[in-house]
Structure 1
């Protein structure tokens, strides 16, 4: 099973965004987080319907980002929120989502997200990345502290590559998120498959050492 989550940013795509999504979904990542926060509610809803259709075709889970009402309207039971929005979400609304995630940038935020009912979190950014130019990555020690502070799965985000994925997993993460590389890839299907293969090889290596 894959533990690579793709996070979208349609502005980075060099080709048609939905084509890019289809090729990513075809590769079978753990999930695709539709993170298009600059859109209006109606624009996001229309885009989400298209992305959900593609994801359903390949049985790839699609996680709605930020737009709580859109998730409810489209009967999507997977939602990812900034912690600021998560704090305002009533408990009865949280119960509608089987999968509930939050973006965290400190141990304290990770613990708060878990207490607020999250089933997973993303932690970052771990390595230097063009998406956060001028802001140094928080590093693997930060990731280890976050992973050790909560009992829910932690997915690292920020500058994740084939070269550093094994270090991310060795730090206790359940998996990793990719955004820029997935959106920019000329062959996104192969890119995701290579990441999955790298992680599979790392898992086998770890098992051999037990």
Structure 2
């Protein structure tokens, strides 16, 4: 994607259904096939996350997924970032990175990736959100909103705090953590731009259908 940062700024709704990969749910399927099915179903933003992979492994996986997505119609193109690893993102010319509070600092990621790539940042408080925005973040991932087995040690962010964060910053916010068909309603009237999901998409037997249902659900509450 040319100038992915500009694309995000012009199309913040591309954050509406944000899918984060997780190998735990593949069940013998390839990650690239699962990602393609997710995008066909309605996923609008994709993050490659593999905490145990080397930079070289992440680069290879990113390229494989990118090749699978390239076979789809041009209209299906979605922003595609890498979790944490700025060096891997540089090596494969990814659309950007998503970093946490304990990962590569947002300002450092921005300096390395330059002005045209996307930098997303995890935040749990208004203070963290404002600091990330000041450092050059393009969007925030806020959570966990609900306890989830995907990240069992994640601190829970209260709905009121999510609402305060959305009101405090001018960049888009995505809610994450425990979101699925039965819990999307917690996003209503908070000001978020979209929902980030992991198992709600990748653990589904029919990933494409699950993504389509989630996209419809998110559109109803956001």
Give the TM-score range, shorter chain.
0.7 to 0.9
CA shift for structure 1 position 71? 1.6
Distance 1:15 1:25, change over 3 A: farther
Closer, same or farther: CA 86–195 of 1 in aligned 2, 3 Å: same
d(CA) in 1 for partners of 2:184, 2:121? 21
Q: Cα RMSD between the aligned structures?
A: 2.1
Q: 1:180 aligns with which of 199, 218, 221?
A: 199
CA contact (8 A) 2:84 2:98 kept: yes
Of residues 89, 104, 114 in structure 1, which corresponds to 2:123? 104
CA distance in 2, matches of 1:115, 1:187: 40
Quote the residue 1:20 is aligned against: 34
In the aligned structure 1, how far is the partner of 2:109 from the partner of 2:209? Answer: 41
Candidates 156, 159, 162, aligned match of 2:181: 162
TM-score, normalised on structure 2? Answer: 0.82
Match of 2:43 among 29, 42, 63: 29
Asked if 1:57 corresponds to 2:57, the answer is no
Note the residue ranges of structure 2 that are not aligned, 5 or more in a row: 1-12
How many angstroms apart in 2 are the aligned matches of 1:90 and 1:158? 24
Q: Does the 8 Å CA contact 1:122/1:157 hold for their aligned counterparts?
A: yes
Alignment of 1:106-185 (within 5 A): 106-133=125-152, 137-185=156-204
TM-score (norm. length: structure 1) = 0.86
Structure 1 segments of 4+ aligned residues over 4 angstroms from their partners: none
Of residues 116-125 and 60-69 in structure 1, the stretch that sits farther from structure 2 once superposed is 60-69
Task: Provide the rounded CA distance (Å) in 2 between the counterparts of 1:126 and 1:172.
Answer: 14
